[in-house]
Structure 1
Amino acid sequence: MMSLRNRITRLVLSLTASPILGSIAAQAAEADQSRRVSADVIAAIKQNDIMRFTACESLGGLNQSCVRIAQELEAISANCASTAWCLWNHLCTFHLFCGLLGPDNQTFLAGVTQRRDWVCFPAGASTAVRGEIDGDTVRIKGQAAFGSGARYAEWAGVAFVIDDKPQFSLVDLRQHGVNIQDDWHAMSLRASATDTVIYDGAS
């Protein structure tokens, strides 16, 4: 009969994240001190198929079960809680974004999935974002709080209002008009980049 230790070892080795667990663990202490997950670790995660776990097959995703996702995150969190927290936020919020944006945006969502782009959703207390129509473009201004993973992400979900009507979109964080403030100074999940995102004319 296989021992418990052997069963656990087999499970860990079968995980999609298994190849990157060592590098995640190696940078955990430094991540806590510097309040930043290693850029190399973030790059490795973005190359790993775990990024596609909560996207459906029609988008190029893997459509994994909650149990499988939990097993992966359990292993990652044992090595670096901040890294697991950010990845969990990406997986959950991207699933939400797919539902909000729907089939009309399938090509865009498939691109995000296939490129393994990272997403986040800063929308906590003190968030206030307004949109203005500028020709064919909507530009947003304001702040969005508690953006876990924002520093590592390519896209942010943004809830905003135009003429007091609620709107939602994904905004490219790499553009001018976006400033991610380094203001997460909590005593736990110190490298989770749960920062405030400032929008000043971003589109």
Structure 2
Amino acid sequence: MSLEAAPEAPSGASPADTSAGATDDWGDGAKVRRAWSPRGFPAGLVALLAAGVAGTALYIGVTARIDRAPRWSRDLLERAQTHEWRDNWTIVAGLTAAVLGLWLIVLAATPGRRSLLRLRSPGDAMTVYMTRRTAASFLRHTALASSGVLDARVRMGRRKAVLRVDYHFRDPDDLHDELIERLEERANALTLARVPRVDLRLQPVSGR
């Protein structure tokens, strides 16, 4: 689990208003927000590239102003003015820059941290998260506790938990009803902000 500070309630709000807001945020899971990643590496990469390009342009401009531009910068400017920009390496460089730009836009518009599931907040100044692996482990152990269950695999999502259960020597309908009841009870006990729907798939195993 991880803890993060949450925004404080607006000044002047009554306890009743705060409670009502909490009910709206956590009641049906419609307004649950994911944890945002700090994006340290992409931000540092962009800053480094921007600093490199800006520094190079400034150096060329200053040296050209005082008529002391190095040979490589004069060659670069001459090539930029006379080149037709139809070479393969130019196309590849342009496509690479476009893909990198789209990647940065996606990173800026998406929260990231897909491995974290938000829990119901225990206080106004605290936000609590549980990893998907932890939640999946709770559901898996709950399924394995039922008689006849040999193995269980869980794929945990934000809205749905898919369980594939191998079983033997049990009536599938009885086992399904038993597991659904136990798994839904466990899913509610996890205190997730958005309680996942349980999708149970039984697979009989013979000879074991």
| TM-score, scaled to structure 1 | 0.27
1 or 2, which has the higher helix percentage? 2
Q: Which has the higher contact order (CA 8 A, sep 6+)?
A: 2
| TM-score, scaled to structure 2 | 0.27
